[in-house]
Chains A and B, each alone.
Chain A
Amino acid sequence: DGGITQSPKYLFRKEGQNVTLSCEQNLNHDAMYWYRQDPGQGLRLIYYSQIVNDFQKGDIAEGYSVSREKKESFPLTVTSAQKNPTAFYLCASSIREPVTPDGYTFGSGTRLTVV
């Protein structure tokens, strides 16, 4: 079955460390996204990519970086410049952007905690 795989499920980061969250999809979707979710809140867009080797900043890109070297993969790096990274991170994909009536397909998320 096609889907999105996020790893790891749980991640702990020390102060000053960079960490990378993995997101892989086998749906042949062109567009991929990273969202951040804080407790009791909705999703906020960090970065998105409409096509390989191209990506755009979302609403809260500061302290994060991404790459899109392959259609299937869209890793997110949380850098030491992100002062409050503890959150739930969701990766999503869609057939294309703007999103179609099929909506987004989401991964199962990565819960990042600063220790």
Chain B
Amino acid sequence: AQKITQTQPGMFVQEKEAVTLDCTYDTSDPSYGLFWYKQPSSGEMIFLIYQGSYDQQNATEGRYSLNFQKARKSANLVISASQLGDSAMYFCAMSPIGTNAGKSTFGDGTTLTVKP
């Protein structure tokens, strides 16, 4: 069975500073993808970044980067130069690549608050 653990229920960061949101995972699937989503107070989930288990380099998308350590089964999200608009809930998710359709798993989320 898959499991995603986000150990930080809430995080605070000062505007313009960097912040790391933790995510560890457990899976028996040999190939998988890791995702991060942002959920503002409006409720809609927004896709941020993707990392494949077979990717050699860490993924980056603008101010978002994914610190992927496969041996430690961690996929931490790093947000650089935080902005007030980054205040939201952030979810880590994992999906198998292959035949296990419909088995995406989400963590419980981390609420990030950016202070001015």
Contact = CB atoms under 8 A, between A and B. Distances in A.
Contacts of B100: 98
B71 interface: no
A2 interface: no
Interface in A26-85: 33, 35, 40-45, 48, 50, 56, 58
Contacts of A33: 102
B4 A109 contact: no
Interface string B20-57: 00000000000001010100001111110010100000
B101 to A, nearest CB: 5
Contacts of B88: none
Interface of A: 33, 35, 40-45, 48, 50, 56, 58, 88, 90, 92, 97-99, 101-109, 111
